[in-house]
Amino acid sequence: MRQWFFTSESVTEGHPDKVADQISDAVVDAALSVDPNARVACETLVTTGLVVVAGELRAATEIDFEGLARQTIRKIGYVEDPNFHADTVAVQVVAHTQSPDIALGVDGGEATNLELGAGDQGLMFGYAVDQTPELMPLPIALAHRLAERLAHVRKSGTLPYLRPDGKTQVTVEYQDKRPIRVTDILISTQHDESIGTSQDMFDDLYREVISDVIPQDLLDEPRIFINPTGRFVIGGPHGDTGLTGRKIIVDTYGGYARHGGGAFSGKDASKVDRSAAYGARHAAKTVVAAGLATECEIQVSYAIGRSEPFSLLVDPHGTSTVDPAKLESLVADFFDFRPSAIIDRLKLTQPGFIETAAYGHFGRPGFTWESTDAAAELARAAAAL
């Protein structure tokens, strides 16, 4: 049996790039809350003492960009660092209306009635694998949970010396395609000056974070690294500039599956970078939940202004319980990958995207694209082939 190792990373909500993602998605939510047909393409930059919010907007409302930015920063926890503080940071807004050429491609051209044309050309991937109950690759699932736990023990006051910025990394050993143990854990977390020694932090994080997240049967004397440089006081946007859309592998499958290259945050669902990636994940997860494969990767591509996908590929990586060609035909018939159909099926005109902007867009409860309600029906359709 082939032995191999795979590593994935995650970051906390206070990581500079995630601060930017959350501000951008707060803008999307604000627009959708009053106009379900809003068009938003929002990019945010954060750095020492400054937030720049830029992009295109078409909505039946005025957006309080500055208020949304400050509210988001405060919720994350930047209320102590004078170099990046929710109340004092400067907010610069550079936003304008959506290009009429893009609007024509989405709302006109081939699109009629309730249909939409794709907001851009591109290719998107969805993936699922039976390594975890949520059908995600184990390394990214564990890395996300460690990052979430860091935020929890900070906000709850369990470890009050922690600060918002942080990163996690997990290496898993596999035999063939089955994970057997965690071999390496890395946590880098911002902290204030009050923590006594690196050993104190190690003991705290092992007890309150690692032991809480990593199943004991996977903890077989792993190597554990906590703040390898020994100090992480300067962090957040003061330590490193953040940009929307710079953590696309963290957002998806931790590198375990392919990525089409388009970011999600800051975009309404007419942008297929977001909606088609969600639709492809929903389809792939339903295939695995239906027992038709233990692993499934779906690629879908689009041309701007066209509603029908440019191409569709269903790849079960040799794990399909039915003929792969028949599986692809079944998925094409069962799931409608037109942008308007994905938006309708997954209810993507409703606000709530800010919840996706940290700790991954996939493998978390509550998102419509994570539902496996259609698995039984898909299994019946497969049985009738």
Residue 374 half-sphere exposure toward CB, CA atoms < 13 A: 18
Question: In this structure, which amino acid lies at residue 117?
Answer: G
pLDDT of 98 above 80: no
pLDDT bracket for residue 139 (50, 70, 90): very high
Question: In this structure, which amino acid lies at residue 65?
Answer: F
Task: Report CA-CA distances (Å) from 59 to 71, 116, 156, 320.
Answer: 21, 17, 37, 44
pLDDT of 360 above 60: yes
pLDDT bracket for residue 245 (50, 70, 90): very high
Give me the pLDDT at residue 101, please: 57
pLDDT of 108 above 60: no
Interval 1-45: pLDDT, tens:
789 999 999 999 999 999 999 999 999 999 999 999 999 999 999
pLDDT, average across residues 238-253: 97
Give me the pLDDT at residue 198, please: 77
pLDDT bracket for residue 216 (50, 70, 90): very high
Rounded Cα distance, 244 and 235, in Å: 17
pLDDT, average across residues 99-128: 68
Interval 247-287: pLDDT, tens:
999 999 999 999 999 999 999 999 999 999 999 999 999 99
Interval 32-41: pLDDT, tens:
999 999 999 9
pLDDT bracket for residue 113 (50, 70, 90): very low
Q: Which residue has the tokens 């931790």?
A: 254
Helices (H), the chain: 16-34, 65-76, 100-107, 138-155, 198-205, 211-213, 236-239, 248-251, 272-289, 324-334, 339-346, 375-383
First to last CA, the chain: 34
* Comparison of pLDDT for 60 and 225, the residue scoring more: 225
What percent of the residues of the chain are helix, what percent strand, and what percent coil, each to the nearest 5?
A: 35, 25, 40
DSSP string, 204-224: HHIIIIIHHHS-GGGEEEEEE
∠ Cα 353 88 156 (to 5°): 55
Task: Report CA-CA distances (Å) from 71 to 40, 182, 244, 247, 268.
Answer: 19, 38, 17, 22, 20
Rounded Cα distance, 6 and 280, in Å: 23
Environment class of residue 255 by beta-carbon count within 10 Å: exposed (0-12), middle (13-18) or buried (19+)?
A: middle
pLDDT, average across residues 188-211: 90
pLDDT of 330 above 70: yes
pLDDT bracket for residue 111 (50, 70, 90): very low
pLDDT bracket for residue 114 (50, 70, 90): very low
Give me the pLDDT at residue 256, please: 98
Nearest Cα residue to 18 out of 270, 255, 359, 322? 359
In the sheet where 178-191 sits, what is the strand order? Answer: 3-11, 162-175, 178-191, 219-226
pLDDT of 112 above 50: no
Tell me the three state secondary structure of residue 295.
strand
Give me the pLDDT at residue 259, please: 96
* Comparison of pLDDT for 98 and 48, the residue scoring more: 48
pLDDT of 93 above 90: yes
∠ Cα 303 127 342 (to 5°): 45
Give me the pLDDT at residue 20, please: 98
Q: Which residue has the tokens 């929710």?
A: 86
pLDDT of 61 above 90: no
pLDDT bracket for residue 110 (50, 70, 90): very low
Question: In this structure, which amino acid lies at residue 147?
Answer: A
- Average pLDDT of every residue of the chain: 93
Report pTM: 0.94
In the sheet where 50-58 sits, what is the strand order? Answer: 90-97, 50-58, 39-47, 242-243
Backbone angles phi, psi at 249, to 5 degrees: -80, -40
Give percent above pLDDT 90 in the chain. Answer: 86
